[in-house]
Every structure is written in structure tokens, then in C-alpha cells.
Amino acid sequence: MTTKSRCICSGFLCSIGNIVNGEEKERSMKYRMKHAPMGWNSYDYYDTTVTEREVRANADYMAAHLKPYGWEYIVVDIQWYAKNTGSQREKYQYIPFGEVSMDEYGRLLPCTDRFPSAKDGVGFRALADYVHGLGLKFGIHIMRGIPREAAHRHLPILGSDALASDIADPSSICKWNPDMYGIRMGEPGAQEYYDSIVALYAQWGVDFIKCDDICNTNLYVEHPYSAAHEIEMLQHAIEKCGRDIVLSLSPGPALIEKAWHYETYANMWRITDDFWDTWELLYDMFRRCELWQNHVGCGSFPDCDMLPVGRLGKGFGQERQTNFTRDEQKTMMTLWCMFGSPLMIGGELTKLDDWTRFLLTRQELLQMLDADYVGRQVARDLRHAVWSCVNEKKGERYLALFNFMEQPAQCEAALPETEAFADMCGQPGTIRARELWDGTELIVHNDCLSDEIPAHGVHVFRIDKK
């Protein structure tokens, strides 16, 4: 039997992991982890306001309750360098021309009001140490480019004779955040600036960088990939820094015609606009996963965005429970896992209810984030979708029936017409199907898997031959 992995890279490297030619050699390529990252991100609950204390509390919770299931990244999202965040919420999410913490080289630093351990210029070092001490990994959000203030103040760039005003491109801005200027391509000092910030992050112990305004620079409607050179500079800086750092790109939707570039220079890229807890967005994700399913593999994980589950929205001024039904949440988790998306919990961990914890700890689903599991859409129309996921090495096969309707509906998949299962068929009564969420077994008649699926819900089965 031929075996294959989901890996899209063309060859031998993935199979031997990331270690090339021993320890003595500089790493020369992007980090190629075999499993999609799993973690927690501060945005969905805290918006721009998260504090060090809150980050630590979430890390504590993860270490205590989620780590055994593979959850490991703790990511501080946007505006950790800004003062008075959240103070003008009714007018601005991001305060224009507001005060930011920055060193003499135009490198942003954590605002000590919210991150007191960053005092004395140690940055996120102490917080990262704490997270690492729990056996977890630490990540931060950044905006592409260099602070506008650094350019207007003509600050020097570390490791270069150039000034911030030399490398800042005054016509390259973010549509929705006022903090940065994009960095010019090929300008002396440009790579050095990215090197200088990533070196700082590596020194802090950062394991994960979520870079924003870079995956789709949506202000530039006709050039939405206008910051491609900044992706390359950032990846080169990471390769030089001596630390395995996951590079995650936002916002989406990523451009399918640039898939090769994302795969070459990044580890994750958002295939969607900001995802929130509405059925319309969840339904639309099936289209996006169809589009990107051939692009999942070692070190390359198209990203369906954070999981808006549990408690959400406090930083946005209105804390709430997720608007998703339980069936919708199961649909989301099943799709994300079979597709192979990174998983980042958006809800506040310290307020996690039993149901949500149950949702987030299904081992059989979570293991599908390993690149040996290959997910494929089998069918999709306006009423339902079918996905398969197969691990040929282990001989595991899964099939999911999704129901898009507003009411329960009978869904089915003819196994002989489904590639991954055709070889099982033909002998009556020999196929077993066990549902992963509730453990029930289903009898498969006539090689056709058929079941009543709840509204907006899913049943996902492990399929075995008796």
C-alpha cells in the first residue's frame, strides 16, 4: 500500500524533520513543524487591553488543564506596546497618534502599565520565562513595518547606518491601524531592522510571531500582496535568529494565487477575514477549506482563525458567551481538525465551562492536526458537505457528514464513490463506523454511510473494516 502524508513539500526533508546536518549548522529554511500549532490568543476576549496578570492566568490554566491534549502556545495579541488602550473605545479601536513604548532603535517594547515585568527594558523576557516554565510556548502579535513615530523622529536602526526615515515607506500604511509604516524593498537598513526586532524577540524567548497587515494588505485593493517583500525579510530574520519561531500571517483572506509564496516563507496564513461566532462565517469556511485543502503540510498550515468559544468580548465592551450552538461548535472543531488548521482558542481560559473544555479536548480529532493526516472534501453543495481524513501510516480513516440546513437532515456518503473508502466496499456488513463526539457505532448498509445530522451540525466517524 502506498503511504503518503499531507505534506506539500516535494520530498525527503519533511520525513526527517527539521534537523538538517546536525547542530553545528545554521538553520537555513523555515521551521517545519509536523503538527499545526495549538494555543490561546488574547484577542477575542481582551481586544487591545490584555495585561500580564491575565496572560499568566490563562497560561496557568492551559498548563493545568489543556497541555496534555497538545495545547501549548500563549499568544499576546495586538497593542501590547501602546498606552491607554481601550480608553477611546467608542471612537477608536486603535488610538491614532497615541503613545507607544519604543527603544532608541525604533523597536516597540511592552507597555509597562500593563506588563510590569517589562520594566528595565527586559521586554517580554520575564513573561516568556514564566510561560516556558509551565512547559508552554510564548507568542506575540506584531504589525508589519516600523513605527511611524520612529520615522518622523529619524531614529537610528540597529546594525545599520540608515535611519528609520530612510527605510519607512510613507505611502505604505495599514488600512485599520495607525501605528506603522511599511518598509521599503531593497533599501539599506530594511533587512537590518527586521533582524533587529526578531533578534530582540528571540532574546525574549518568543516562539511564535503573528504578523498583521501582511497576509492581505487590504488597503491596496489592486495590490493586496504588496508586502510580500516584508514577509521574506521577516522569514529571513527568523532564520538568522537561531530560534525556531512559528511565523503566522494576518489578516485574511490569503490570496490563493500566492499559495506558493506563503508556503515558502510562512508557517500559517489566515485564509479568512476575522472569524467570529456567526453561522454565516462558519458556513463560508467550507468554501475556504475547499480552496486551500491541497496546501496543508509540514510547516504549512492555512489558518481558519481563532475559535470563538466560551467567554468572549470583554475587551470590546460587552462580555458574552459564544453565539454558536453546541452543534455549530462541533462543526467548527471538526472542520478545523480534518482540514488541518492551527487551533487558537479565543475564549478566556479561566472561565472555561465544562462543555467547552470537552469540545477542546477530543484527542481523536486533535491528532488530525498532524501532517500525516490528510483531509479532503469529498462533496459539498448548498445543503451539506462530506469530508474525509486519512492517516495511511496508521491505517486510520475518518468521514464527516455536515448538515448546513436549519433543521436536522439525513445525510449520506456512498463509500464506493469516496476514494479513501472504495477499497473497503463490496462485502456486506463488514464496515464499522464509530462517531467521535458521542462514541456511538453506526451500521453501514450497502456501503453507504447515512445518518440524521442536527441543524448546522456534524457527525464524524472513524471507519474500519471488521
16 vs 382 by CB, closer to its own copies: 16
Q: Per CB under 8 A, which region of 128-136, 168-176, 302-310, 344-352 contacts its own copies?
A: 168-176
Smallest gap from residue 99 Cβ to its own copies (A)? 11
Smallest gap from residue 117 Cβ to its own copies (A)? 30
Q: What are phi and psi of 128, to 5 degrees?
A: -60, -40
Q: Per CB under 8 A, which region of 151-159, 202-210, 307-315, 344-352 contacts its own copies?
A: 151-159
Q: How many CA atoms lie within 13 Å of 373's alpha carbon, on the beta-carbon side?
A: 25
Q: Is-contact 169 185, C-beta < 8 A?
A: no
Smallest gap from residue 267 Cβ to its own copies (A)? 14
Q: Is-contact 39 72, C-beta < 8 A?
A: yes
Question: Which of 362, 397, 456, 459 touches its own copies by CB under 8 A?
Answer: 397
At residue 455, the 3 state secondary structure works out as coil
421 makes contact with its own copies (CB under 8 A): yes
9 makes contact with its own copies (CB under 8 A): yes
- Lookup result for grid cell 533599501: 187
- The single-letter code of the amino acid at 336 is W
Site for its own copies in 175-214 (CB under 8 A): 175-176, 178
* Per-position b or e across 246-273, b if 16+ CB within 10 A of its CB: bbbbbbbbbbeebbebbbebbbbbbbbb
Enumerate residues 6+ apart whose C-beta is below 8 A from 127.
52, 55, 56, 76, 110, 115, 117, 118, 138
Site for its own copies in 358-387 (CB under 8 A): 374-377, 380
Q: What are phi and psi of 231, to 5 degrees?
A: -60, -45
Q: Per CB under 8 A, which region of 19-27, 126-134, 205-213, 326-334 contacts its own copies?
A: 19-27
Smallest gap from residue 419 Cβ to its own copies (A)? 4
5 vs 272 by CB, closer to its own copies: 5
Smallest gap from residue 166 Cβ to its own copies (A)? 9
For residues 66 and 132, what is the distance between their CA atoms, to the nearest angstrom?
Answer: 15
Q: Hey, which bits of 195-236 come out as E strands? A: 208-212
456 makes contact with its own copies (CB under 8 A): no
135 makes contact with its own copies (CB under 8 A): no
By rule CB under 8 A, what string of x and - marks binding of each residue 21-60 to its own copies? xx--x--xx-------------------------------
307 vs 433 by CB, closer to its own copies: 433
Beta bridge partners of residue 317, listed in sequence order? none
- The single-letter code of the amino acid at 59 is A
As given in the structure block, the three cell numbers for residue 225 are 500582496
By rule CB under 8 A, what string of x and - marks binding of each residue 227-266 to its own copies? -----------------------------xx-xx------
